[in-house]
Amino acid sequence: MQLDVRIPMGLLFLLLGSILVVYGLISDPVIYTQHSLGQNVNLVWGSIFVVFGAAMLLLSRRKKE
């Protein structure tokens, strides 16, 4: 069996999600009132990315055992 696609996918989303979360925490809140109806989409969606990425990595590990 070759590379499990869930590994790069998990890594990518984990990485992008973390960047979004960090950016969501440090960015000026005014960009959210300007764009996303006052919601910190970076923080919220970044967390979803992190959960999704982690789930993919977990699934790929469980399969191997």
Partner 1 sequence: MGAFQPLLMKSLLPLSILATADGSGSHDVLLKLAGVDYLILGIYFAFVIAIGWVLRKYLKTSKDFFESGRSLPAWVCALGFIGANLGAQEVIGMAASGAKYGIMTSHFYWIGAIPAMVFVAVFMMPFYYGSKARSVPEYLKLRFDEKTRSFNALTFAFMTIMSSGISMYALALLLNSILGWNFHLCIILSGVIVLLYIFMGGLTSAIYNEVLQFFLIVLGFLPLVLLGMKDVGGWHGLVEKLDVLAQRTGFQAGTYTQSWAHAGSASSNPMGVEWFGLAMGLGFVLSFGYWCTDFLVMQRAMAAKDMGAARRTPLLAAVPKMFFPFLVIFPGLIAMALTVGGHGFQLPPKDGSYDYNMVVPLMLGHYLPSGMLGIGLTALMASFMSGMAGNVTAFNTVFTYDLYQGHIKKDGTDAHYLAVGRWTTVFGILASMGAAYFAAAFNNIMDVLQLVFAFVNAPLFATFLLGMFWRRTSGHGAFWGLISGTVAAAVHQGLTIPVGAAVGLTQGGWVTIVHTYPSIMAQNFWTAIFAWTICMLATIVISLATAPNKTDDQLRGLVYSLTEKIREHDTPWYLRPATLGVVVLAGAVVLNIIFW
Using CB under 8 A, list all residues that contact partner 1: 1-3, 5, 8-9, 11-13, 15-16, 19-20, 23-24, 27, 31-32, 34-37, 39, 41-42, 45-46, 48-49, 52
Q: Kindly tell me which of 24 and 57 has the beta carbon lying closer to partner 1.
A: 24
Give min distance, CB of 41 to partner 1, in A: 5
Which is closer to partner 1, CB of 1 or CB of 64? 1
38: left (phi over 0), alpha (psi -120 to 50) or beta: left
Cα 9 to its chain centre, rounded Å, is 11
Instruction: List Cα–Cα distances, 65 to 15, 30, 37, 57, 59, in angstroms.
Output: 25, 47, 45, 13, 11
